Structure 1
Amino acid sequence: MSLRNQVALVTGSSRGLGLAIAKALHAEGVHVVINYVDPTSEDTAQANATALNTIAIRADVTDLDQVQSLFDRVESHFQQPISIVVNNALGAFKFNGPGRKTLDQITWSDFDLQLRTTLQGALNTTKSALPGFRKLGGGRIINIGTNLVQNPVVPYQDYTAAKGALLAFTHTTAAELGPENVTCNMVAGGLLRSTDASAATPHEVFDQIAAITPLRRVTTPEELAGAVVFFAGPLAKAVTGQQIVVDGGLVMT
């Protein structure tokens, strides 16, 4: 099944990694829906949608009604359902190791924010995608994870716990939906140079990570996006329940 003229939703795609993924899919001929939640991102989202000849829709992935409405609007606009879902949306978070909340400071509300955006968001998009997948006879779900689950070099407790839960959700979703020709995989990144979230990371940390990474550099959003395109495309039609770590070889699984 060619990627050309398929419809993809990339959550949290007005900028950063999400936008890099959207651009990579667009380059393969996919109609990519730009999604954002912060009203201050509207101008940026609309400008990027125009550049990609697509639409931008504001929707909070933690709200099932909003997500279902997004799927309905997209199917009406393109006259076909979404066949590829990329769960990239991230709750407000900054990768600032020295400034992170330690266990004696962190609260359940911090965990709740990350779990709602990461896990509840993925559940909402998956539930909303199923009717369209069934019309099409299959679909692709690609979740964005982190190598911190395997290698918590900086213990971002709330963020990493949410991504660990998303990895488990990836496995169980792959098992349940496989008979319906729906694949579900994860692309786990390391520290990326650079996104809004990693802009808070001290420069010396980038250098330290590069020094211990086999490729001797920090991964870019565009490099991670390539793995997403693989999972979305025809070469991965028999791959499900898997995780690719895209971090220059820092974590080997």
Structure 2
Amino acid sequence: MRLSEQNVLVTGGARGLGAAISEALAREGASVVINYRRSEAQAKSLAERLGPRVVAIQADITDAASVARLFEEARAVSGGPVHAVVNNALADFSFDGDARPKLGDIEWTRFQQQIDGALKGALNTIQAALPAMRAAGFGRIVNVGTNLFQNPVVPYHDYTAAKAALLALTRTASNDLGPDGITVNMVSGGLLRTTDASSATPEAVFDMVAGFTPLRRVTTPAEFADAVLFFLSPWARAVTGQNLVVDGGLVKG
């Protein structure tokens, strides 16, 4: 199914990377559902700017009932089912290496918050999307990961553990859902220049990362979004269970 024929839900789609993904989808003619939790003004402003095929709908993805309502509203507004889900929402987090809790001090509640946002949130959206995807014999699920579980240059313990668990779900789900015509993949970035979450990162760190990267620059949200579009497009129809690292070549494989 071409992107222009799809209804795509982007969780956390109003700000930062999520906004870049929403913009890229709208540019390619997809119908986009921008999910937000608290960023109502940003979500509605973005939807208005991107055109009549883009809507903003509030829901807390960690709550299954809220997600069920999200899918019902999305169908009512778009006139059809959600064909694809981009699990991008990020629980409150800041990439600030100096302020991060160290392993000897970090509390489990921080792990739980990230696991709920990344893993539980993705599970809720996948389960809500499954009936319509199975009925259509078509579905696309793209999870947003990180290159930190391959190269933990900054040990963000809670965030990295949650994204590693999401990669495991990506691979098991791809095996489970493949017979239904549903692909499940992950796109993993490094430090992005710049999102709300990376705004606390010092410029010197951006420059250092750029120096170690083959392309000699830090990946932008727009460049990351283009890779997400690949997995949603017909070009990736035989690709599932994969983790594509999009970081300018910093991490291999």
Cα displacement (A) at 1:119: 0.2
Instruction: Report deviation, 1:3.
Output: 1.2
Match of 1:48 in 2: 46
Residue 5 of structure 1: how far off its partner (Å): 2.9
Q: Distance in 2 between matches of 1:196 and 1:208?
A: 20
Q: Which moved more, 1:133-142 or 1:157-166?
A: 133-142
How far apart are the structure 2 equivalents of 1:30 and 1:101?
40
Distance 1:112 1:83 in 2: 29
State the AA in 1 paired with 2:104.
D
For 1:119, the equivalent position in structure 2 comes to 119
Q: Secondary structure at the match of 1:184?
A: strand
CA distance in 2, matches of 1:2, 1:46: 26
2:143 equivalent to 1:179: no
Partner residue, 1:106: 106
The alpha-carbon deviation at position 134 of structure 1 amounts to 1.8
SS at match of 1:46: helix
The answer to whether the 8 A contact 2:187-2:244 is kept is yes
Cα distance in 2 for partners of 1:75, 1:58 equals 14
Residue identity opposite 2:113 in structure 1: L
- In 2, Cα distance between the equivalents of 1:112 and 1:202? 27
The letter for the 2-side match of 1:25 is: L
Q: State the distance in 1 between where 2:50 and 2:73 align.
A: 18
1:9 deviation in Å?
0.3
Residue 177 of structure 1, CA deviation: 0.1
The C-alpha deviation readout for 1:177-198, integer Å capped at 9, x for no partner, is 0000000000000000000000
CA shift for structure 1 position 55: 1.3
Q: Secondary structure at the match of 1:198?
A: coil
5+ residue gaps, structure 1, are: none
TM-score (norm 2): 0.98
Q: Which residue of 1 aligns with 2:61?
A: 61
User: Could you tell me how far apart the structure 1 residues matched to 2:136 and 2:30 are?
Assistant: 16
Q: Which residue of 1 aligns with 2:14?
A: 14
Counterpart residue number, 1:200: 200
Contact 2:24 2:226 in 1 (8 A): yes
Alpha-carbon distance, 1:118 to partner: 0.3
SS of alignment partner, residue 5 of structure 2: coil
> Quick one: distance in 2 between partners of 1:214 and 1:111?
32
1:202, distance to aligned residue in structure 2 (A): 1.0
Secondary structure in 2 matching 1:249 = coil
How does 1:231-242 map onto structure 2 within 5 Å?
A: 231-242=231-242
Which letter does structure 1 place at the counterpart of 2:22?
A: A
Partners of 2:134 and 2:181 within 8 A in 1: no
RMSD between aligned residues:
0.7
Residue in structure 2 matched with residue 72 of structure 1 by the alignment: 72
Which position in structure 2 is the counterpart of 1:210?
Answer: 210
Q: Secondary structure at the match of 1:200?
A: coil
Q: Counterpart of 1:7 in structure 2: which amino acid? A: N
Determine helix, strand or coil for the equivalent of 1:97.
Answer: coil
The residue that corresponds to 2:141 in the other structure is 141
User: For the residues of structure 2 that align with 1:92 and 1:80, how far apart are their CA atoms?
Assistant: 32
What secondary structure, in the 3-state scheme, does the structure 2 residue paired with 1:98 have?
Answer: coil
For residues 90 and 156 of structure 1, the distance between their equivalents in structure 2, rounded to whole angstroms, comes to 14
* Aligned 8 A contact 2:93 2:197 in 1: yes
Look up the match of 1:250.
250
User: Residue 155 of structure 2 aligns with which residue?
Assistant: 155
1:28: how far off? 1.1
Which contiguous aligned blocks of 4+ residues in structure 1 show a shift greater than 6 angstroms?
Answer: none
Q: How far apart in 2 are the matches of 1:57 and 1:11?
A: 10
Match in the other structure for 1:224: 224
What is the CA-CA distance between 1:6 and the residue it aligns to?
1.1
Partners of 1:36 and 1:106 in 2: CA distance: 28
The residue type paired with residue 210 of structure 2 is A
